[in-house]
């Protein structure tokens, strides 16, 4: 009889241990699942930050449509914005209009926006500029050294990329000017028919802690103005 009681006692203890192990296993499994879900949500959130997001679109009442997108560039502090829209002109006319605008700015001796706009050097596929841009008070005026590289690909696609070029244009810094260390972007013009082109203009920059509410309207205005200028210039040539 005593052996039976001892045996039952052992079974009871074993049952308790088994129950504890089951609960522990379920708890660990639940924690692991929650951790996996949190990790997946975090990864999805981080991944979405590097994907293009539609942030502004032209109104239905506007004849010439456009859409602006933004994203963060993975592995950097850079933000990137782009505008897409159709231009009723050939891709060659679009890139010619962009290049002509640079020459027009440089030739304007009474340029209020750019008191200094100098073409430092030019070749068939590149153009180097030095520019001083008037800024509203109390900001300092800014200076930029920019290299433009033009391309003409198969299928009629044309484009231009640009980036800061202080290493090839070593202008001494001025105390009264704020130097733009990074200035990068591109235009791409892809023909959609014999009389229309899909245009994409993108810009990249490091916000350096500047608030989004201040940067976003400035970039949107810059992109809209650039697309409008190319549309106007190509209209003059047709």
Task: Give pLDDT, residue 18.
Answer: 57
CA dihedral sign of residues 87, 92, 96, 98 = positive
Per-residue pLDDT reduced to its tens digit, 59-75: 988 888 999 999 998 88
Rg (CA), the chain: 30
How crowded is the C-beta side of 167, counted as CA atoms within 13 Å?
3
Low-confidence residues of the chain: pLDDT under 50:
3-7, 11, 44
**Burial (CB count <10 Å: 0-12, 13-18, 19+), residue 148:** buried
Per-residue pLDDT reduced to its tens digit, 153-192: 888 999 999 999 999 998 898 889 999 888 899 999 999 9
Task: Give pLDDT, residue 47.
Answer: 58
Task: Give pLDDT, residue 4.
Answer: 46
Alpha-carbon distance 134 to 114, whole Å? 6
Measured distance between the N- and C-terminal CA atoms of the chain, rounded to whole angstroms: 111
Task: Give pLDDT, residue 17.
Answer: 58
- Written as six digits, the tokens of 74 are 């993975």
Task: Give pLDDT, residue 195.
Answer: 87
How far is residue 105 from each of residues 109, 114, 115, measured CA to CA in Å?
A: 8, 8, 10
Contact 170, 151 (CB under 8 A): no
* H helix or E strand, kind and range, residue 188: strand 184-193
Task: Give pLDDT, residue 91.
Answer: 95
Question: In DSSP terms, which residues pair with 224 in a beta bridge?
Answer: none
Which top CATH class is 53-237?
A: alpha beta
- Written as six digits, the tokens of 36 are 């996996």
Contact 238, 94 (CB under 8 A): no
Q: Is 173 helix (H, G, I), strand (E, B) or coil?
A: coil
Alpha-carbon distance 99 to 162, whole Å? 12
Alpha-carbon distance 131 to 234, whole Å? 24
Task: Give pLDDT, residue 70.
Answer: 95
Can you give 109-140 as a three-state secondary structure string? CCCCCCCEEEEEEECCCEEEEEEEECCCCCCC
Alpha-carbon 178 to chain mean position: 23
């Amino acid at each position: 009889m005593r052996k039976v009681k001892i045996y039952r006692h052992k079974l009871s203890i074993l049952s308790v241990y088994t129950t504890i192990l089951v609960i522990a296993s379920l708890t660990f499994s639940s924690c692991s699942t929650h951790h996996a879900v949190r990790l997946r949500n975090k990864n999805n959130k981080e991944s979405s930050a590097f994907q293009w997001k539609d942030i502004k679109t032209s109104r239905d009442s506007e004849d010439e449509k456009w859409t602006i997108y933004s994203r963060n560039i993975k592995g950097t502090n850079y933000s990137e914005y782009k505008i897409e829209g159709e231009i009723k002109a050939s891709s060659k006319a679009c890139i010619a209009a962009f290049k002509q605008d640079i020459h027009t700015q440089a030739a304007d001796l009474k340029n209020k926006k750019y008191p200094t706009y100098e073409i430092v050097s030019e070749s068939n596929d590149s153009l180097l500029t030095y520019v001083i841009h008037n800024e509203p008070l109390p900001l300092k005026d800014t200076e930029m050294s920019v290299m433009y590289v033009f391309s003409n690909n198969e299928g009629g696609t044309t484009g231009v990329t640009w980036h800061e070029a202080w290493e090839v244009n070593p202008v001494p810094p001025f105390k009264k000017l704020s130097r733009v260390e990074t200035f990068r972007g591109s235009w791409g013009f892809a023909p959609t028919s014999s009389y229309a082109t899909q245009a994409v203009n993108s810009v990249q920059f490091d916000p350096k802690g500047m608030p989004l509410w201040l940067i976003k309207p400035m970039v949107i205005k810059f992109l809209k103005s650039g697309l409008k200028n190319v549309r106007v210039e190509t209209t003059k040539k047709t």
